[in-house]
Chain A
């Protein structure tokens, strides 16, 4: 593990920003701290950086305990949420700052700054001031400034929050490529699951100061460990009593859970359904066009379920009566989550589970 946190606790007055936080990140990986606002992501990041002291627990970087090491000596580059570029310095001086602090000779500073300017694709802009840059350019300058002293670990707080949607997609890919190309380990904080899922190799989900789960984006989606992660990652809708649904009558424990739209298949007409006993009667409450498919809200036995519906099939509209089959759902039992498959699945003709 390149970075490791063990039993970290941190409180601000009676707000517990971190409770028994522990995780490790392998060298060269880009990890995301993902969680709702106020869940303690920034606090965790700042403790790794040394800008905040944990009340208890240990932080290791590259095998060495760094709790008592100055922030500037931990070999960390930090990109702040609003970039915190020095307003009265040019782009050149911003990037050069960390090198000048280390008393590098002027010629080394120059060549390193120009190397970084090329890396971030901003050659020729070294004389500009931060106020003359776009949001994306500021972010890249902040990135270059943090990277200039060759840190082994890069921390970024909400790096995409201030960037508009179109540039955001490009920056995600760019950041991911950079981290992997430069052989640094990266951790970024975000509250946006799309940022995390599309950028990170590994996601650490935080909630209320705790780590809920750590894993690859696919794993969090397919095997969520807690009810929180199940609802937070991907699209889902809560079910107050799934035992009322055909094929799930025998579930154990409490009957609450969630269902994802891709788990529900809609049949616009009765024909084509071989096993009529296993489908539910549903009423279409709402349809929304999503470019590649319809997002449909169904009412089944007084419960609201989301579903996706292909654009190729016969159109449906609010008020229509249709048939629906629920392939699977996540059942909650206390803090545990189980994936329940529909008991009638073997006999159902729609064997292709994920088709819509």
Chain B
């Protein structure tokens, strides 16, 4: 609608577009192209295997399902956490706020070992679940927990600023019209947060998919059950089958790109309401 005026008010539009494309090419596109070239270096056999070997297919399934679940869990808990941190004032709030980034700061292997120790049948948390007959470490539940831990900051940090900026008048308008707290949250606040939640989901999903260090320890890496695709890439590399590892990587890239692109489309649709 306002595309023309936007073009005029950005100074040096041509230069910035040029910079953007060359930057994206160098950092993102060229490595991907290289990957594509590499995977077909020795013919199409690597590819065929990446798309048909049942063990590799099971790896995709584990990776995508667990990443999806972890991003989903974080949408709920990250939203609650962001809500509590912005809406309430309580002792220790700043401390908790500061802890949010910790998963990023920790070397992922450290996180993986710590989580495994905690959630194994002998660990503090794992033993409580084991008493109820629930195994966490070395199952997909463990993978999801590791992925959730590592991607929590994405959701919290994308929602937090939006919540902080959200004009209190929207909620008050709902209250004046007699709406209950639940209805105000569902009908008024949630739609305002949806674009941020989607962004956070996309980031968390992509990060969980590529996460290796913290997951391999808690996963147990049983073929067909808890073996994630990044681990398969690593083991192919160790066997010097570069084409196969590149082929698996490419498949994952294409699928994640499709997911991210889909999220972006939904999101820009939602964002178009809020302009003006």
Give CA–CA (A58, B59) in the complex, Å: 68
Q: Across the interface, which residues of B come within 8 angstroms of A51, CB to CB?
A: 172, 175-176
A84-B167, A84-B169, A88-B191 known; A101 vs B176 contact (CB < 8 Å) = no
User: Cβ of A49 < 8 Å from any Cβ of B?
Assistant: yes
CB distance from A68 to the nearest CB of B (A): 15
Residue among B172, B192, B270, B272 with max Cβ neighbours from chain A (10 Å): B172
A80-B169, A84-B167 known; A131 vs B275 contact (CB < 8 Å) = yes
User: Cβ of B239 < 8 Å from any Cβ of A?
Assistant: no
Q: Would you call B177 and A49 a contact (CB within 8 A)?
A: no
User: Cβ of A347 < 8 Å from any Cβ of B?
Assistant: no
A80-B169, A84-B169, A131-B276 known; A72 vs B176 contact (CB < 8 Å) = yes
CB distance from B150 to the nearest CB of A (A): 32
Which 5 A-B pairs have CB atoms at the shortest separation, nearest pair first? A72-B178, A98-B177, A84-B169, A88-B191, A131-B276
Q: Would you call B173 and A80 a contact (CB within 8 A)?
A: yes
| A-B pairs with beta carbons under 8 Å apart, 18 shown | A70-B175, A71-B176, A72-B176, A72-B178, A84-B167, A84-B169, A84-B172, A86-B173, A86-B188, A87-B192, A88-B270, A101-B180, A102-B178, A129-B273, A131-B273, A131-B274, A145-B173, A148-B177
Q: Would you call A80 and B178 a contact (CB within 8 A)?
A: no
User: Cβ of A146 < 8 Å from any Cβ of B?
Assistant: yes
As a 0/1 sequence over residues 121 to 139 of chain A, the CB contacts with chain B under 8 angstroms (1 = contact) are: 0000000010110000000
Q: Would you call A97 and B192 a contact (CB within 8 A)?
A: no
Q: Would you call A101 and B177 a contact (CB within 8 A)?
A: yes
Q: Would you call A146 and B192 a contact (CB within 8 A)?
A: no
Give CA–CA (A129, B188) in the complex, Å: 14
A87-B274, A88-B192 known; A97 vs B176 contact (CB < 8 Å) = no
Instruction: List residues of A (116-168) whose CB comes within 8 Å of B's CBs.
Output: 129, 131-132, 145-146, 148-149
Q: How many A-B residue pairs have CB under 8 A?
A: 71
User: Cβ of A326 < 8 Å from any Cβ of B?
Assistant: no
**Residues of B near any A CB (own CB < 8 A):** 167, 169-170, 172-180, 183, 187-188, 191-192, 270, 272-276
Give CA–CA (A146, B177) in the complex, Å: 7
Using CB atoms, name the residue of chain A closest to B172.
Answer: A51
CB distance from B63 to the nearest CB of A (A): 34
Among A72, A82, A145, which residue has its beta carbon within 8 angstroms of that of B175? A72
As a 0/1 sequence over residues 87 to 102 of chain A, the CB contacts with chain B under 8 angstroms (1 = contact) are: 1110000000110011
CB distance from A47 to the nearest CB of B (A): 13
CB distance from B218 to the nearest CB of A (A): 39
CB distance from A77 to the nearest CB of B (A): 7
Give CA–CA (A88, B186) in the complex, Å: 12
User: Cβ of A76 < 8 Å from any Cβ of B?
Assistant: yes
CB distance from A94 to the nearest CB of B (A): 9
Q: Would you call A77 and B170 a contact (CB within 8 A)?
A: no
CB distance from B107 to the nearest CB of A (A): 41
Using CB atoms, name the residue of chain A closest to B274.
Answer: A87
As a 0/1 sequence over residues 57 to 72 of chain A, the CB contacts with chain B under 8 angstroms (1 = contact) are: 0000000000000111
A82-B167, A82-B169 known; A97 vs B177 contact (CB < 8 Å) = yes
Q: Would you call A84 and B178 a contact (CB within 8 A)?
A: no
User: Cβ of A78 < 8 Å from any Cβ of B?
Assistant: yes
Using CB atoms, name the residue of chain A closest to B276.
Answer: A131
CB distance from A35 to the nearest CB of B (A): 21
CB distance from B27 to the nearest CB of A (A): 34
Q: Across the interface, which residues of B come within 8 angstroms of A84, CB to CB?
A: 167, 169-170, 172-173
